[in-house]
Structure 1
Amino acid sequence: MRLIPRPGRRLGTVIGSLLVTLATSLVAITSTAAPAHADACYTWSGTLQQGSTGNAVTQLQIRVAGWAASGTIFSIDGSYGPATTTAVRNFQAAYGLSADGVAGTNTFNKLYALQDDDCTPIHFDWSEVDDVCYGGWPTPISGVTIAQVKANLMQAMWRAEAIRHRLGDNPLRVTSAYRSKACNDAVGGASNSNHLYGRAMDLVPGSSATTMCGIARASRQSFPQVLGPGYPDHSDHIHLGIQSSIYQSASQCF
Protein backbone atom coordinates (compact mmCIF):
# COMPACT_ATOMS: atom_id res chain seq x y z
CA MET A 1 0.00 0.00 0.00
CA ARG A 2 1.42 3.44 -0.97
CA LEU A 3 1.76 5.83 1.90
CA ILE A 4 0.48 9.35 1.37
CA PRO A 5 2.70 11.93 3.12
CA ARG A 6 1.01 14.02 5.74
CA PRO A 7 0.56 17.66 4.71
CA GLY A 8 2.41 18.84 7.82
CA ARG A 9 5.42 16.66 7.07
CA ARG A 10 5.58 17.87 3.45
CA LEU A 11 5.34 21.50 4.59
CA GLY A 12 8.11 20.93 7.11
CA THR A 13 10.29 19.40 4.41
CA VAL A 14 9.74 22.37 2.10
CA ILE A 15 10.49 24.88 4.85
CA GLY A 16 13.58 22.95 5.84
CA SER A 17 14.83 22.98 2.25
CA LEU A 18 14.25 26.72 2.01
CA LEU A 19 16.17 27.35 5.23
CA VAL A 20 19.11 25.28 4.01
CA THR A 21 19.12 27.20 0.71
CA LEU A 22 18.96 30.54 2.53
CA ALA A 23 21.77 29.58 4.89
CA THR A 24 23.92 28.44 1.97
CA SER A 25 23.29 31.73 0.19
CA LEU A 26 24.25 33.74 3.26
CA VAL A 27 27.46 31.78 3.67
CA ALA A 28 28.31 32.40 0.03
CA ILE A 29 27.62 36.12 0.38
CA THR A 30 29.70 36.33 3.55
CA SER A 31 32.61 34.42 2.09
CA THR A 32 32.78 36.56 -1.05
CA ALA A 33 32.25 39.96 0.59
CA ALA A 34 35.19 42.32 0.25
CA PRO A 35 37.00 43.24 3.46
CA ALA A 36 36.12 46.56 5.07
CA HIS A 37 38.26 49.44 3.95
CA ALA A 38 38.56 53.20 4.38
CA ASP A 39 38.15 54.70 0.92
CA ALA A 40 38.54 58.27 2.12
CA CYS A 41 41.69 57.53 4.11
CA TYR A 42 44.17 54.77 3.34
CA THR A 43 43.74 51.18 2.16
CA TRP A 44 46.39 48.49 2.49
CA SER A 45 46.70 45.55 0.14
CA GLY A 46 48.48 42.26 0.67
CA THR A 47 50.50 41.48 3.78
CA LEU A 48 53.24 43.44 5.51
CA GLN A 49 55.94 41.77 7.56
CA GLN A 50 59.57 42.08 8.58
CA GLY A 51 61.54 43.18 5.53
CA SER A 52 58.66 45.14 3.94
CA THR A 53 59.30 48.79 3.06
CA GLY A 54 57.48 51.78 1.63
CA ASN A 55 54.54 54.06 2.34
CA ALA A 56 52.27 51.16 3.34
CA VAL A 57 54.68 50.43 6.19
CA THR A 58 54.86 54.12 7.12
CA GLN A 59 51.07 54.31 7.38
CA LEU A 60 51.05 51.19 9.54
CA GLN A 61 53.80 52.52 11.80
CA ILE A 62 51.90 55.75 12.44
CA ARG A 63 48.98 53.71 13.77
CA VAL A 64 50.87 51.19 15.90
CA ALA A 65 53.61 53.45 17.32
CA GLY A 66 51.76 53.62 20.63
CA TRP A 67 52.23 49.86 21.02
CA ALA A 68 56.02 49.83 20.65
CA ALA A 69 58.19 48.06 23.22
CA SER A 70 58.57 49.98 26.49
CA GLY A 71 61.75 51.97 26.88
CA THR A 72 62.39 52.31 23.15
CA ILE A 73 62.28 55.12 20.60
CA PHE A 74 59.99 54.04 17.77
CA SER A 75 60.86 55.46 14.35
CA ILE A 76 58.39 56.14 11.54
CA ASP A 77 60.78 55.25 8.74
CA GLY A 78 58.87 53.02 6.31
CA SER A 79 61.01 50.00 7.18
CA TYR A 80 59.37 46.95 8.79
CA GLY A 81 62.02 45.79 11.23
CA PRO A 82 61.98 44.09 14.65
CA ALA A 83 60.58 47.21 16.37
CA THR A 84 57.60 47.34 14.02
CA THR A 85 57.06 43.60 14.40
CA THR A 86 56.88 44.05 18.18
CA ALA A 87 54.51 47.02 17.90
CA VAL A 88 52.20 45.12 15.54
CA ARG A 89 52.27 42.07 17.80
CA ASN A 90 51.38 44.19 20.84
CA PHE A 91 48.58 45.89 18.91
CA GLN A 92 47.19 42.54 17.79
CA ALA A 93 47.26 41.12 21.32
CA ALA A 94 45.57 44.23 22.75
CA TYR A 95 42.66 43.86 20.33
CA GLY A 96 42.26 40.09 20.57
CA LEU A 97 43.84 39.21 17.23
CA SER A 98 46.33 36.45 16.49
CA ALA A 99 49.56 38.06 17.70
CA ASP A 100 52.12 37.01 15.10
CA GLY A 101 53.60 40.43 14.29
CA VAL A 102 52.53 40.13 10.64
CA ALA A 103 50.07 42.75 9.38
CA GLY A 104 47.38 41.15 7.23
CA THR A 105 43.64 41.40 6.63
CA ASN A 106 42.53 41.08 10.27
CA THR A 107 45.03 43.68 11.46
CA PHE A 108 44.10 46.11 8.70
CA ASN A 109 40.37 45.65 9.29
CA LYS A 110 40.84 46.50 12.96
CA LEU A 111 42.78 49.63 11.99
CA TYR A 112 40.02 50.61 9.54
CA ALA A 113 37.51 50.28 12.36
CA LEU A 114 39.63 52.56 14.54
CA GLN A 115 40.03 55.43 12.08
CA ASP A 116 37.85 58.13 10.60
CA ASP A 117 37.81 59.09 6.93
CA ASP A 118 40.49 61.73 7.52
CA CYS A 119 42.83 59.08 9.00
CA THR A 120 42.56 60.38 12.57
CA PRO A 121 41.71 57.79 15.23
CA ILE A 122 38.01 57.63 16.04
CA HIS A 123 38.35 59.03 19.56
CA PHE A 124 40.44 62.11 18.69
CA ASP A 125 40.06 64.78 16.00
CA TRP A 126 41.70 67.91 14.64
CA SER A 127 39.47 70.28 16.63
CA GLU A 128 41.02 68.92 19.84
CA VAL A 129 44.62 69.50 18.81
CA ASP A 130 44.63 72.83 16.96
CA ASP A 131 46.03 76.03 18.51
CA VAL A 132 44.92 76.06 22.13
CA CYS A 133 44.92 79.86 22.39
CA TYR A 134 43.41 81.08 19.14
CA GLY A 135 41.95 78.00 17.47
CA GLY A 136 42.70 76.97 13.91
CA TRP A 137 46.22 76.81 12.56
CA PRO A 138 48.14 80.07 13.07
CA THR A 139 51.57 80.28 11.47
CA PRO A 140 54.07 78.04 13.28
CA ILE A 141 57.60 78.98 14.25
CA SER A 142 60.16 79.69 11.54
CA GLY A 143 61.25 76.67 9.54
CA VAL A 144 58.15 74.60 10.33
CA THR A 145 55.08 74.20 8.11
CA ILE A 146 51.51 73.45 9.12
CA ALA A 147 51.76 70.24 7.06
CA GLN A 148 54.65 69.11 9.28
CA VAL A 149 52.74 70.11 12.41
CA LYS A 150 49.71 68.08 11.32
CA ALA A 151 51.84 65.06 10.41
CA ASN A 152 53.31 65.12 13.92
CA LEU A 153 49.88 65.57 15.50
CA MET A 154 48.56 62.60 13.54
CA GLN A 155 51.23 60.46 15.17
CA ALA A 156 50.43 61.91 18.60
CA MET A 157 46.70 61.19 18.24
CA TRP A 158 47.32 57.56 17.31
CA ARG A 159 49.65 57.15 20.28
CA ALA A 160 46.92 58.65 22.48
CA GLU A 161 44.44 56.15 21.02
CA ALA A 162 46.70 53.36 22.29
CA ILE A 163 46.73 54.92 25.76
CA ARG A 164 42.95 55.18 25.74
CA HIS A 165 42.57 51.50 24.87
CA ARG A 166 45.13 50.55 27.51
CA LEU A 167 42.92 52.37 30.03
CA GLY A 168 39.85 50.34 29.15
CA ASP A 169 38.68 52.70 26.39
CA ASN A 170 37.68 55.30 28.94
CA PRO A 171 37.59 58.85 27.52
CA LEU A 172 40.57 61.19 27.66
CA ARG A 173 40.50 64.95 27.15
CA VAL A 174 43.15 66.96 25.31
CA THR A 175 43.83 70.29 27.03
CA SER A 176 46.69 71.44 24.80
CA ALA A 177 48.44 70.20 21.68
CA TYR A 178 49.67 72.52 18.90
CA ARG A 179 50.78 75.99 19.94
CA SER A 180 51.73 78.79 17.60
CA LYS A 181 54.69 80.85 18.80
CA ALA A 182 52.35 83.59 19.99
CA CYS A 183 50.34 81.07 21.97
CA ASN A 184 53.41 79.39 23.42
CA ASP A 185 54.75 82.77 24.55
CA ALA A 186 51.38 83.69 26.05
CA VAL A 187 51.18 80.55 28.20
CA GLY A 188 54.85 80.70 29.21
CA GLY A 189 55.87 77.56 27.35
CA ALA A 190 59.49 76.54 26.89
CA SER A 191 61.16 78.11 23.86
CA ASN A 192 61.85 74.66 22.42
CA SER A 193 58.55 73.08 23.49
CA ASN A 194 57.39 70.05 21.53
CA HIS A 195 54.00 71.79 21.37
CA LEU A 196 55.45 74.23 18.83
CA TYR A 197 56.02 71.36 16.38
CA GLY A 198 52.82 69.43 17.04
CA ARG A 199 54.86 66.75 18.77
CA ALA A 200 53.12 67.07 22.14
CA MET A 201 49.73 66.92 23.79
CA ASP A 202 48.49 67.34 27.33
CA LEU A 203 45.88 64.88 28.59
CA VAL A 204 43.52 64.74 31.54
CA PRO A 205 40.87 62.17 32.47
CA GLY A 206 37.63 62.44 30.54
CA SER A 207 35.66 60.65 33.24
CA SER A 208 35.97 59.49 36.83
CA ALA A 209 36.97 56.03 35.57
CA THR A 210 40.49 57.29 34.85
CA THR A 211 43.04 59.02 37.08
CA MET A 212 45.91 61.35 36.30
CA CYS A 213 48.44 58.76 37.45
CA GLY A 214 46.64 56.09 35.46
CA ILE A 215 47.23 58.14 32.31
CA ALA A 216 50.87 58.74 33.24
CA ARG A 217 51.58 55.04 33.73
CA ALA A 218 49.69 54.00 30.59
CA SER A 219 51.61 56.57 28.53
CA ARG A 220 55.12 55.32 29.24
CA GLN A 221 54.98 52.75 26.44
CA SER A 222 53.51 55.21 23.94
CA PHE A 223 55.48 58.46 24.37
CA PRO A 224 59.20 59.01 25.05
CA GLN A 225 58.40 62.15 27.05
CA VAL A 226 55.94 61.82 29.94
CA LEU A 227 55.62 64.52 32.60
CA GLY A 228 53.00 64.37 35.33
CA PRO A 229 52.23 64.77 39.04
CA GLY A 230 55.46 65.21 40.95
CA TYR A 231 57.11 67.12 38.10
CA PRO A 232 56.98 70.92 38.57
CA ASP A 233 53.78 72.55 37.23
CA HIS A 234 52.33 69.24 36.01
CA SER A 235 50.00 68.26 38.84
CA ASP A 236 46.87 68.97 36.79
CA HIS A 237 47.75 67.34 33.45
CA ILE A 238 49.95 64.74 31.79
CA HIS A 239 52.33 66.18 29.21
CA LEU A 240 53.27 63.76 26.44
CA GLY A 241 55.92 64.41 23.82
CA ILE A 242 57.44 62.68 20.80
CA GLN A 243 61.20 63.15 20.80
CA SER A 244 64.47 61.34 20.14
CA SER A 245 65.29 60.63 23.79
CA ILE A 246 63.37 59.19 26.71
CA TYR A 247 62.54 61.48 29.61
CA GLN A 248 59.72 60.47 31.91
CA SER A 249 59.06 62.06 35.28
CA ALA A 250 55.96 61.80 37.47
CA SER A 251 57.26 60.89 40.91
CA GLN A 252 53.78 60.72 42.44
CA CYS A 253 52.81 58.05 39.89
CA PHE A 254 55.89 55.97 39.08
Structure 2
Amino acid sequence: MSLLRRALAALALVVTSLVVVAANPPAAHADECYSWSRNLSSGATGADVTELQARVAGWAGSGVNMGVDGSFGPQTEQAVRNFQAAYGLGADGVAGAATYAKIYELQDADCSTAHFDWAEVSGGCGQGGYSGGSVSAAQVQENLKRSMWKAEALRQRLGNVPLTVNSGFRSQACDRQVGGSGTGQHTYGNALDFAAVSGGFCPVAQQATHVGYGGIFGPGYPDHDDHVHVDLRGGRSWSAPNCGI
Protein backbone atom coordinates (compact mmCIF):
# COMPACT_ATOMS: atom_id res chain seq x y z
CA MET A 1 0.00 0.00 0.00
CA SER A 2 1.38 3.42 -0.93
CA LEU A 3 2.16 6.00 1.71
CA LEU A 4 -0.73 8.14 0.44
CA ARG A 5 -3.23 5.28 0.68
CA ARG A 6 -2.05 4.46 4.20
CA ALA A 7 -2.52 8.06 5.22
CA LEU A 8 -6.03 8.15 3.72
CA ALA A 9 -6.95 4.87 5.46
CA ALA A 10 -5.75 6.23 8.80
CA LEU A 11 -7.76 9.41 8.28
CA ALA A 12 -10.87 7.38 7.46
CA LEU A 13 -10.41 5.41 10.66
CA VAL A 14 -10.19 8.61 12.72
CA VAL A 15 -13.31 10.05 11.06
CA THR A 16 -15.23 6.80 11.63
CA SER A 17 -14.21 6.83 15.29
CA LEU A 18 -15.41 10.41 15.70
CA VAL A 19 -18.77 9.55 14.15
CA VAL A 20 -19.18 6.61 16.54
CA VAL A 21 -18.33 8.79 19.51
CA ALA A 22 -20.80 11.45 18.37
CA ALA A 23 -23.55 8.85 17.92
CA ASN A 24 -22.87 7.20 21.28
CA PRO A 25 -22.32 9.92 23.90
CA PRO A 26 -20.78 9.00 27.24
CA ALA A 27 -23.12 7.24 29.65
CA ALA A 28 -25.02 9.43 32.10
CA HIS A 29 -23.80 9.84 35.65
CA ALA A 30 -24.41 6.64 37.60
CA ASP A 31 -26.16 7.25 40.90
CA GLU A 32 -26.74 4.49 43.43
CA CYS A 33 -30.43 5.35 43.88
CA TYR A 34 -31.63 6.39 40.43
CA SER A 35 -30.00 7.80 37.30
CA TRP A 36 -31.46 9.60 34.30
CA SER A 37 -30.16 8.80 30.82
CA ARG A 38 -31.86 11.58 28.85
CA ASN A 39 -32.88 15.19 29.14
CA LEU A 40 -36.54 15.67 30.02
CA SER A 41 -38.76 18.52 28.92
CA SER A 42 -42.38 19.35 28.16
CA GLY A 43 -44.17 16.48 26.43
CA ALA A 44 -41.91 13.71 27.74
CA THR A 45 -43.50 10.65 29.34
CA GLY A 46 -42.23 7.60 31.15
CA ALA A 47 -40.95 6.19 34.41
CA ASP A 48 -38.00 8.60 34.39
CA VAL A 49 -40.49 11.51 34.35
CA THR A 50 -42.24 10.00 37.37
CA GLU A 51 -38.93 9.79 39.23
CA LEU A 52 -38.17 13.41 38.36
CA GLN A 53 -41.62 14.57 39.47
CA ALA A 54 -41.23 12.82 42.82
CA ARG A 55 -38.14 14.95 43.44
CA VAL A 56 -39.36 18.35 42.23
CA ALA A 57 -43.05 18.23 43.21
CA GLY A 58 -42.36 20.53 46.16
CA TRP A 59 -41.45 23.31 43.74
CA ALA A 60 -44.59 23.44 41.58
CA GLY A 61 -45.80 26.67 43.17
CA SER A 62 -47.85 28.08 46.02
CA GLY A 63 -50.86 25.90 46.73
CA VAL A 64 -50.13 23.60 43.78
CA ASN A 65 -50.51 19.92 44.66
CA MET A 66 -48.73 18.53 41.59
CA GLY A 67 -49.50 15.07 40.30
CA VAL A 68 -46.77 12.45 39.96
CA ASP A 69 -48.07 10.75 36.85
CA GLY A 70 -45.17 10.26 34.44
CA SER A 71 -46.33 13.03 32.09
CA PHE A 72 -44.17 16.17 31.78
CA GLY A 73 -46.75 18.94 31.58
CA PRO A 74 -46.86 22.65 32.51
CA GLN A 75 -46.82 22.01 36.27
CA THR A 76 -43.78 19.79 35.99
CA GLU A 77 -42.01 22.37 33.82
CA GLN A 78 -42.73 25.07 36.40
CA ALA A 79 -41.57 22.80 39.21
CA VAL A 80 -38.30 22.15 37.38
CA ARG A 81 -37.83 25.91 36.79
CA ASN A 82 -38.45 26.68 40.46
CA PHE A 83 -36.15 23.88 41.60
CA GLN A 84 -33.42 25.17 39.30
CA ALA A 85 -33.84 28.75 40.52
CA ALA A 86 -33.85 27.71 44.18
CA TYR A 87 -30.48 26.03 43.77
CA GLY A 88 -28.82 28.63 41.56
CA LEU A 89 -29.13 26.79 38.25
CA GLY A 90 -30.19 28.12 34.88
CA ALA A 91 -33.98 28.06 35.12
CA ASP A 92 -35.05 26.81 31.69
CA GLY A 93 -37.54 24.15 32.79
CA VAL A 94 -35.55 21.39 31.10
CA ALA A 95 -34.10 18.64 33.29
CA GLY A 96 -30.58 18.01 32.07
CA ALA A 97 -27.09 17.41 33.40
CA ALA A 98 -26.98 20.34 35.85
CA THR A 99 -30.42 19.58 37.26
CA TYR A 100 -29.61 15.90 37.67
CA ALA A 101 -26.29 16.74 39.33
CA LYS A 102 -28.11 18.78 41.99
CA ILE A 103 -30.65 15.99 42.50
CA TYR A 104 -27.81 13.46 42.89
CA GLU A 105 -26.21 15.78 45.43
CA LEU A 106 -29.46 15.86 47.43
CA GLN A 107 -30.06 12.11 47.06
CA ASP A 108 -28.46 9.42 49.20
CA ALA A 109 -27.60 5.95 47.94
CA ASP A 110 -30.52 4.40 49.85
CA CYS A 111 -32.97 6.83 48.17
CA SER A 112 -33.46 8.96 51.24
CA THR A 113 -32.52 12.63 50.92
CA ALA A 114 -29.52 14.61 52.09
CA HIS A 115 -31.23 16.00 55.20
CA PHE A 116 -33.79 13.29 56.01
CA ASP A 117 -33.31 9.57 56.46
CA TRP A 118 -35.38 6.41 56.64
CA ALA A 119 -34.82 5.97 60.38
CA GLU A 120 -36.59 9.21 61.26
CA VAL A 121 -39.60 8.61 58.99
CA SER A 122 -40.15 4.87 59.52
CA GLY A 123 -42.63 3.18 61.85
CA GLY A 124 -43.52 4.95 65.06
CA CYS A 125 -44.32 3.55 68.53
CA GLY A 126 -40.86 1.97 68.54
CA GLN A 127 -41.83 -0.55 65.87
CA GLY A 128 -39.76 0.62 62.93
CA GLY A 129 -40.32 -0.67 59.40
CA TYR A 130 -43.10 -0.07 56.90
CA SER A 131 -45.60 -2.88 57.48
CA GLY A 132 -49.07 -2.79 58.97
CA GLY A 133 -50.17 0.42 57.32
CA SER A 134 -53.08 1.17 55.02
CA VAL A 135 -51.09 0.25 51.88
CA SER A 136 -48.29 -2.20 51.13
CA ALA A 137 -44.86 -1.72 52.68
CA ALA A 138 -43.45 -0.94 49.21
CA GLN A 139 -46.04 1.80 48.64
CA VAL A 140 -45.40 3.21 52.11
CA GLN A 141 -41.72 3.55 51.22
CA GLU A 142 -42.51 5.21 47.90
CA ASN A 143 -44.81 7.67 49.65
CA LEU A 144 -42.17 8.36 52.30
CA LYS A 145 -39.60 9.03 49.60
CA ARG A 146 -41.93 11.64 48.10
CA SER A 147 -42.56 13.05 51.57
CA MET A 148 -38.82 13.44 52.18
CA TRP A 149 -38.32 15.27 48.88
CA LYS A 150 -41.08 17.73 49.75
CA ALA A 151 -39.45 18.13 53.16
CA GLU A 152 -36.22 19.02 51.34
CA ALA A 153 -38.10 21.74 49.46
CA LEU A 154 -39.61 23.01 52.71
CA ARG A 155 -36.19 23.05 54.38
CA GLN A 156 -34.72 25.03 51.50
CA ARG A 157 -37.60 27.52 51.57
CA LEU A 158 -36.99 28.03 55.29
CA GLY A 159 -33.45 29.13 54.50
CA ASN A 160 -31.85 25.70 54.55
CA VAL A 161 -32.23 25.45 58.31
CA PRO A 162 -32.37 22.12 60.18
CA LEU A 163 -35.87 20.65 60.22
CA THR A 164 -36.69 17.84 62.63
CA VAL A 165 -39.26 15.11 61.96
CA ASN A 166 -41.14 14.07 65.10
CA SER A 167 -43.33 11.43 63.47
CA GLY A 168 -43.57 9.75 60.07
CA PHE A 169 -45.07 6.43 59.08
CA ARG A 170 -47.26 4.67 61.62
CA SER A 171 -48.80 1.24 61.38
CA GLN A 172 -52.55 1.22 61.89
CA ALA A 173 -52.03 -0.20 65.38
CA CYS A 174 -49.53 2.52 66.23
CA ASP A 175 -51.79 5.24 64.87
CA ARG A 176 -54.61 4.07 67.13
CA GLN A 177 -52.19 3.79 70.05
CA VAL A 178 -51.30 7.49 69.80
CA GLY A 179 -54.94 8.57 69.46
CA GLY A 180 -55.36 8.51 65.69
CA SER A 181 -58.08 6.84 63.65
CA GLY A 182 -55.89 3.95 62.53
CA THR A 183 -56.36 4.88 58.88
CA GLY A 184 -55.00 8.43 58.72
CA GLN A 185 -52.35 9.85 56.40
CA HIS A 186 -49.50 8.61 58.61
CA THR A 187 -50.58 5.02 57.89
CA TYR A 188 -49.94 5.59 54.17
CA GLY A 189 -46.49 7.08 54.62
CA ASN A 190 -47.92 10.37 53.35
CA ALA A 191 -47.49 12.43 56.52
CA LEU A 192 -44.67 13.99 58.50
CA ASP A 193 -44.88 15.95 61.74
CA PHE A 194 -42.26 18.69 62.22
CA ALA A 195 -40.80 20.31 65.30
CA ALA A 196 -40.44 24.09 65.53
CA VAL A 197 -37.56 25.97 63.93
CA SER A 198 -35.87 29.00 65.50
CA GLY A 199 -38.86 31.19 64.64
CA GLY A 200 -41.36 28.72 66.09
CA PHE A 201 -43.95 26.56 64.37
CA CYS A 202 -45.55 29.22 62.18
CA PRO A 203 -42.68 29.62 59.69
CA VAL A 204 -42.90 25.87 59.06
CA ALA A 205 -46.67 25.95 58.50
CA GLN A 206 -46.52 29.11 56.40
CA GLN A 207 -43.75 27.91 54.10
CA ALA A 208 -45.49 24.52 53.79
CA THR A 209 -48.27 26.26 51.86
CA HIS A 210 -45.75 26.82 49.05
CA VAL A 211 -44.57 23.19 48.89
CA GLY A 212 -47.66 21.46 47.51
CA TYR A 213 -48.95 19.74 50.63
CA GLY A 214 -52.61 18.76 50.50
CA GLY A 215 -52.80 18.63 54.30
CA ILE A 216 -51.30 21.19 56.72
CA PHE A 217 -52.31 21.36 60.37
CA GLY A 218 -50.55 23.43 63.01
CA PRO A 219 -50.96 25.79 65.95
CA GLY A 220 -54.58 26.65 66.62
CA TYR A 221 -55.88 23.39 65.19
CA PRO A 222 -56.92 20.93 67.94
CA ASP A 223 -53.99 18.90 69.32
CA HIS A 224 -51.49 20.52 66.94
CA ASP A 225 -50.00 23.29 69.05
CA ASP A 226 -46.79 21.29 69.56
CA HIS A 227 -46.05 20.31 65.95
CA VAL A 228 -46.87 20.99 62.32
CA HIS A 229 -48.43 18.12 60.41
CA VAL A 230 -48.08 17.99 56.61
CA ASP A 231 -49.27 15.30 54.21
CA LEU A 232 -49.59 14.38 50.53
CA ARG A 233 -53.38 13.98 50.34
CA GLY A 234 -55.18 15.16 47.22
CA GLY A 235 -57.06 18.44 47.36
CA ARG A 236 -56.45 20.90 50.17
CA SER A 237 -57.17 20.71 53.87
CA TRP A 238 -55.20 23.39 55.76
CA SER A 239 -55.73 24.71 59.27
CA ALA A 240 -53.22 26.50 61.47
CA PRO A 241 -55.27 29.47 62.67
CA ASN A 242 -52.60 30.84 64.98
CA CYS A 243 -50.33 31.16 61.92
CA GLY A 244 -52.91 32.79 59.68
CA ILE A 245 -53.69 29.57 57.79
TM-score above 0.5, yes or no: yes
What is the match of residue 19 of structure 1?
A: none
Cα offset for 1:139? 3.0
What is the match of residue 100 of structure 1?
A: 92
What is the match of residue 6 of structure 2?
A: none
Pick aligned residue for 2:112 from 117, 120, 128: 120
- Superposition RMSD on alpha carbons, in Å? 1.7
In structure 2, the gaps of 5 or more residues are 1-25
Q: Is the 8 A contact 2:166 2:193 kept in 1?
A: yes
**Do structure 1's residue 212 and structure 2's residue 205 form an aligned pair?**
no
What is the match of residue 10 of structure 1?
A: none
Pick aligned residue for 1:48 from 14, 33, 40: 40
Q: How does 1:44-193 map to 2 (within 5 A)?
A: 44-137=36-129, 139-141=131-133, 144-193=135-184
Post-superposition Cα deviations, 1:185-214, rounded to whole Å, max 9, x if no partner, equal 110113431001101010113x53x42101
User: Letter of the aligned partner of 1:178 in structure 2?
Assistant: F
Where 1:201 maps in the other structure, the secondary structure is: strand
What is the match of residue 245 of structure 1?
A: 235
How high is the TM-score relative to the length of structure 2?
0.85
Question: Taking structure 1 as reference, are residues 120 and 224 closer, same or farther at Cα in structure 2, changes over 3 Å only?
Answer: same
Q: Which entry has the higher C-alpha Rg, 1 or 2?
A: 1
Q: How does 1:215-234 map to 2 (within 5 A)?
A: 215-222=204-211, 223-234=213-224
Cα offset for 1:45? 1.8
C-alpha separation between the residues in 2 aligned to 1:65 and 1:56?
A: 14
Q: Is the 8 A contact 2:28 2:36 kept in 1?
A: no
C-alpha separation between the residues in 2 aligned to 1:178 and 1:139?
A: 9
Give structure 1 regions of 4+ aligned residues with deviation exceeding 2 angstroms: 34-39
Where 1:252 maps in the other structure, the secondary structure is: helix
C-alpha separation between the residues in 2 aligned to 1:228 and 1:189?
A: 16
| Paired positions, count | 218
- Identity percentage of aligned residues: 51
Cα offset for 1:70? 1.6
How high is the TM-score relative to the length of structure 1?
0.82
What is the match of residue 22 of structure 1?
A: none
User: Letter of the aligned partner of 2:67 in structure 1?
Assistant: S
C-alpha separation between the residues in 2 aligned to 1:128 and 1:48?
A: 32
